[in-house]
């Protein structure tokens, strides 16, 4: 029973898109740019979860929520699901505590201008950008986020010599399955499982075709369970994957997914949402096939998550959650940064 209903927010502008996934915090007061100024930017995406990237090596670029909204506007701005500011960890107050463990801080903003803890797809694009700009070498790259230091492996294809298209793997927080809950979409109430991946998710396993749900309208959820909002995933029941797993001890499954992200609306992809979906899919498959279930242990396995923006691979073990997918830089240029409200 839902004690209190709340609705998620939608992004400025039109079309699905986001960033996904990510603790929704109120942006603190910032120094507002009052005069227009040109600043360098890049545009990138991970399975069509797209971001505007601003290098800020001196930690002098301060963005207001209104400026982020204008930048992410798909008609009047560059367009994106969010903004990634690239800043040395030692030079930003939100990341200086991680400076000994990570050289670079990913300052992530949702498209509505709110601050976010972390973004799974964003970490891959961020790390790939560092490599393509020659700031780091391919391989293991620790990245500071508001949700802690995330380890990203940028695969060798992601280099200046081979172009702007590559792939990367991010180690995310182990998903924690929570309480049974409900969400409401278009007047239809669906059972869901609360999942914490360092940010909140509600995952619904549905047999109704995914394209029959209207995610242009913000879903409703139980505010008592999700007081800071929630990312909502709709997934199909897990089925055995077409390809064999990498080793005999692994089980491979496939699900299809759509997602509505807080602070952004429906998006083409959500990295942390894919991890949450994989956790629920593995538990669902376990319930259907196992004679005994230990509720304290999440089953291990590999899940291929098929999203509107492409495919993500999630591998869960007893100690790690690994998210692998594409990372692409599509453009570079200069952006005219206007004052707040412009």
Q: pLDDT, tens digit, for every residue of 286-327?
A: 876 665 566 667 888 999 999 999 999 999 998 899 999 999
Specify whether the backbone of 140 is left (phi greater than 0), alpha (psi in -120 to 50) or beta: beta
> What total of structural domains would you count in the chain?
2
Residues 153 and 264 in one domain: no
- Assess if residue 342 is contained within a domain: no
- pLDDT in the model for residue 294: 65
Q: Output Rg (C-alpha) for the chain, integer angstroms.
A: 19
* Residue 161 and residue 200 share a domain: no
Examine the domain organization and report whether 44 and 157 are in the same domain: yes
Instruction: Assess if residue 3 is contained within a domain.
Output: no
- Tokens standing for residue 232: 């909502």
Shared domain check, 263 and 241? yes
Claim to verify: residue 242 and residue 333 sit in the same structural domain: no
**Is 20 a residue whose pLDDT tops 60?**
no
**Strand runs labelled E in 90-230:** 104-110, 115-116, 139-145, 148-154, 165-172, 176-185, 188-196, 200-205, 220-222
The answer to whether residue 6 is domain-embedded is no
Confidence band for 339, pLDDT divided at 50, 70 and 90 = low
Q: Are both 114 and 221 inside the same structural domain? A: no
pLDDT over 80 (residue 225): yes
Q: What is the pLDDT of residues 121-170, one digit of tens each?
A: 999 999 999 999 999 999 999 999 998 999 999 987 644 544 567 899 99
Same domain, yes or no: 293 and 332: no
Given a cut of 70, whether residue 94 has pLDDT beyond it is yes
Over residues 23-34, mean pLDDT: 42
* For residues 174-181, average pLDDT: 94
Whether residue 143 sits in one domain with residue 43: yes
- Pair (139, 79) in one structural domain: yes
- Phi and psi, residue 276, nearest 5°: -60, -45
Q: Which residues are catalytic?
A: 119, 270
Kindly report the CATH number assigned to the domain that includes residue 312: 3.10.310.10
pLDDT for 297 equals: 74
- Model confidence pLDDT, tens digit, residues 72-91: 999 999 999 999 999 999 99
Token output for 256: 């299809």
Domain ranges, residue 81: 13-170+328-337
User: And the tokens for 340?
Assistant: 């707040």
């Amino acid at each position: 029973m839902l004690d209190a209903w709340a609705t998620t927010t939608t992004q400025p502008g039109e079309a699905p898109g986001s960033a996904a996934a990510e603790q929704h915090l109120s942006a603190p007061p910032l120094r507002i740019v009052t005069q227009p100024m040109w600043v360098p930017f890049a545009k990138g995406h991970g399975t069509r979860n797209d971001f505007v990237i601003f290098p800020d090596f001196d930690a002098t670029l301060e963005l207001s929520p209104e400026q982020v909204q204008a930048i992410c506007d798909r008609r009047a701005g560059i367009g994106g699901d969010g903004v990634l500011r690239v800043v040395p960890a030692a030079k930003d107050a939100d990341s200086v505590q991680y400076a000994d463990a990570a050289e670079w801080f990913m300052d992530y903003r949702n498209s509505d201008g709110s601050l976010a803890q972390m973004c799974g797809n964003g970490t891959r694009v961020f790390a790939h950008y560092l490599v393509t700009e020659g700031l780091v070498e391919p391989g293991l790259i620790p990245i500071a986020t508001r949700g802690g230091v995330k380890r990203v492996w940028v695969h060798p294809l992601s280099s200046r010599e081979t172009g702007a298209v590559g792939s990367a793997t991010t180690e995310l927080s182990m998903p924690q399955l929570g309480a049974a809950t409900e969400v409401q979409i278009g007047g239809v109430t669906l059972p869901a499982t609360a999942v914490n991946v360092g940010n909140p998710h509600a995952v619904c396993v549905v047999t109704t075709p995914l394209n029959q749900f209207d995610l242009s309208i913000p879903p409703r959820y139980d505010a008592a369970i999700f007081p800071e909002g929630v990312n909502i995933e709709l997934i199909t029941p897990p089925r055995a994957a077409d390809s064999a797993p990498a080793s005999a001890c692994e089980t491979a499954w496939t699900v299809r997914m759509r997602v509505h992200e807080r602070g952004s609306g429906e998006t083409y992809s959500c990295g942390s949402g894919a991890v949450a979906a994989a956790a629920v899919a593995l538990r669902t498959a376990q319930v259907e096939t196992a004679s005994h279930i230990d509720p304290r242990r999440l089953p291990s396995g590999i899940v291929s998550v098929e999203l509107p923006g492409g495919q993500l691979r999630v591998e869960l073990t007893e100690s790690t959650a690994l998210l692998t997918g594409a990372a692409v830089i599509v453009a570079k240029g200069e952006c005219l940064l206007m004052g707040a409200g412009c």
